[in-house]
Structure 1
């Protein structure tokens, strides 16, 4: 499901509501956390779709954010302690894009020693998180009004928009809205619509059609020879007339090895 998460709700709140909808015994998850103050697109996965979580999480993201200039926040967002500095970032210089080194905020969901970083930070423990490499393909100033500036940002998974804004200087994210995850757009969000798994996978991965004995083997996790002229990719979806069978990796010798199955074992 494509959900437009409102401000004030956690991603867990949205998953819990979906779990009540689908009933006990149905596994439910999501494909990328949104902070409580943030709004926008959240992909909710139910049943066998949760097996493909990492493929949806790996999709690039798009955001629109409103930054408050001349202020700082201990969390990088409105939920922290804010302080007025009056020092305005220079927005006339080129905004950083490309491959960047970024340190996740101390108030983030990254795990440190089995605990979330934000839990440690709120308990008064100093948290030093390792830098990571991210990619920002778009960082554009859309407009400015006083101490507010609106930006459009497109980036790889794992990028922290709060850090991008904080790195500009004295600024923090006042508002944050996720507008896209890969090919999925916020305009398509509808809490009443359940997108079939086959359609969702076909939007992000190449699909290789199989049938007969090849489909049976794939359903049991057995490697099969790639059909002639089959689409290629780091991973592909194997599917027949009944829908997706498995996600498979190309291996030596021109074979496809199922790594995630969707049929009952």
Structure 2
């Protein structure tokens, strides 16, 4: 019987909050970071289009188990809509599909914003990762097919007009999971009767990570110049954020060493003492400052769903 293959790379864990440059795909960015850190596993929490820049949270090692909690978080984007053209991709990359000489007045733009705030129905772009009959919409669109993508509810918490030029308007939006900013630009243009598409897009926040956590890719790549491998990896690891920071919106439970051992073996533990929680849907447990498990509390018992080494 053959031995199981030993994973390639280091068992390094944590979050890297990458400031992704324009013209660099999210999958490409993850591959680059995985290679730089010589990590066994890596994944990202929310795709950024190649033409978009900004925050791309990348999980290494055990932190990949916390990716869903970051993907569900609020996001903030700054974006520019250029008026006069609607495009097949709803951004600069696509072909022009409709054009207009009309340009909206600032007061017309401002009067439009309340209708795009709160829970709204949005049809994702034709070029999107939405699955239609098992296939990605962007694959069908590239084959020249026009597909009917059903609308869905998304949450817009805040939408601000930052500035206006004749052919452009600059916005900031705070939104929930699944919101397509490109679709906002498309729909703004249609409602204003002038057509529009995204010409600049930057993500500045993915809950719970703030803009101050971002690290430019060039800064990481520059560390390749360090010849000593251990020194180079140590310099890279200094940019990592502890895995538990991704769970700051969940209830936190401190456990003993004995409880941590039981949890890591997949066993539940009974919570005792005054003030011990009775029921919580999602909780993360730590011991000695280290993440141990994510789970639920039911009838005073913590039951692990994901455990960490």
Is the aligned partner of 1:155 residue 2:175? yes
| Shift of residue 205, structure 1, vs aligned partner | 2.7
Structure 2: distance between partners of 1:184 and 1:46: 16
Could you tell me which residue of structure 2 aligns to residue 167 of structure 1?
187
Could you tell me which residue of structure 1 aligns to residue 160 of structure 2?
140
Q: Which structure carries more helix by proportion?
A: 2
Structure 2: distance between partners of 1:29 and 1:13: 11
What runs of 5+ residues in structure 1 fail to find an aligned partner? Answer: none
Q: Give the TM-score, by structure 1 length.
A: 0.91
Aligned residues: 260
Could you tell me which residue of structure 1 aligns to residue 270 of structure 2?
225
- Structure-to-structure mapping, 1:174-213, within 5 angstroms: 174-190=199-215, 191=220, 192=236, 193-198=239-244, 200-213=245-258
Could you tell me which residue of structure 1 aligns to residue 13 of structure 2?
none
Q: 1:117 aligns with which of 131, 137, 142?
A: 137
Could you tell me which residue of structure 1 aligns to residue 23 of structure 2?
8
| Shift of residue 202, structure 1, vs aligned partner | 4.7
CA RMSD in angstroms comes to: 1.9
Structure 2: distance between partners of 1:30 and 1:233: 27
- Structure 1 pair 149–216 and aligned structure 2 pair: CA distance change class (3 A): same
| Shift of residue 229, structure 1, vs aligned partner | 3.3
Structure 2: distance between partners of 1:133 and 1:225: 40
Structure 2: distance between partners of 1:9 and 1:110: 21
SS in 2 for 1:92: helix
Could you tell me which residue of structure 2 aligns to residue 93 of structure 1?
111
Q: 2:99 aligns with which of 78, 84, 106?
A: 84
- Structure 1 pair 126–40 and aligned structure 2 pair: CA distance change class (3 A): same
Is the aligned partner of 1:239 residue 2:293? no
Is the aligned partner of 1:261 residue 2:281? no
Structure 2: distance between partners of 1:221 and 1:143: 54
| Shift of residue 249, structure 1, vs aligned partner | 2.0
Structure 2: distance between partners of 1:250 and 1:128: 42
SS in 1 for 2:199: strand
Deviations 1:76-98 (A, max 9, x none): 10001125312335303141110
Given that 1:179 and 1:185 are in contact with CA atoms closer than 8 Å, whether structure 2 keeps it comes out as yes
SS in 1 for 2:111: coil
